[in-house]
Amino acid sequence: MSYQSIEQKFLQLPENLQQEAVDFLDFLVVKYQKQAKTKECKAGFAKGAIIMADDFDEPLDIFQDYTA
């Protein structure tokens, strides 16, 4: 679609709908900018942010009654 055909269609609209079309275009620009800012997560980006205890896999004391 060419800019001329878009302009022709735009000019056929009444003034209130032209404003609505401009508002929608503004919305699309903001939406696209937000998508462009979103970065993909890379493996290892949070390295060192989470620390697990050495005894993480050990049974908890509160479950001693259930172990044989």
Residue 38 confidence (pLDDT): 66
Asked if residue 65 has pLDDT above 70, the reply is: yes
**48-55: long-range contacts at Cβ-Cβ below 8 A with a sequence spacing of 24 or more?**
none
The arithmetic mean of pLDDT across residues 38-48, rounded, is 79
Question: pTM, whole model, 2 decimals?
Answer: 0.49
At 6-32, the pLDDT tens digits run 999 999 999 999 999 999 999 999 988
Asked if residue 50 has pLDDT above 70, the reply is: yes
Nearest to 17 by CA among 9, 30, 27, 4: 9
Asked if residue 68 has pLDDT above 70, the reply is: no
Domain range annotation of the chain: 1-36
Number of alpha carbons in the 13 Å side-chain half-sphere of residue 11:
6
